[in-house]
Amino acid sequence: MSASTYEQAGVFRRSLLTTATVVVDGAATPVLAHEAEGGERDRLWRAALRLYPGYAAYQRRAAPRRIPVRTPTGGPDEVSTRYRESHE
């Protein structure tokens, strides 16, 4: 991977932390996001593997780099509340 590609990937990752969007039932809601760490990341990674087992192969190919996991800040309840409020 070229230095330019790494730079673009870094810009994309930082962008996700400031301009994330959650889509529920086809409706997009802007949210803040953070990179999950520790137990939160482990729990979310296991959930991602249940939804798409192919992530395990992706992680093996990316080793030793750890695949970052982003999640809406405030957790699912806050995202659900924002979604409901934006559609009332």
28-69: per-residue pLDDT in tens? 878 888 888 999 999 999 999 999 999 999 999 999 999 989
**What is the residue range of 9's domain?**
3-86
pLDDT classification of 26: cutoffs 50, 70, 90: confident
| Gap between the Cα atoms of 62 and 67, Å rounded | 7
Give, for 48, the enclosing helix (H) or strand (E): helix 38-51
pLDDT classification of 85: cutoffs 50, 70, 90: low
pLDDT > 90: percent of the chain: 32
Beta-bridge partner residues of 71: 34
Cβ proximity of 67 and 58 under 8 Å: yes
Higher pLDDT, 17 or 56: 56
- Count: domains in the chain: 1
Three-class DSSP category at 31: strand
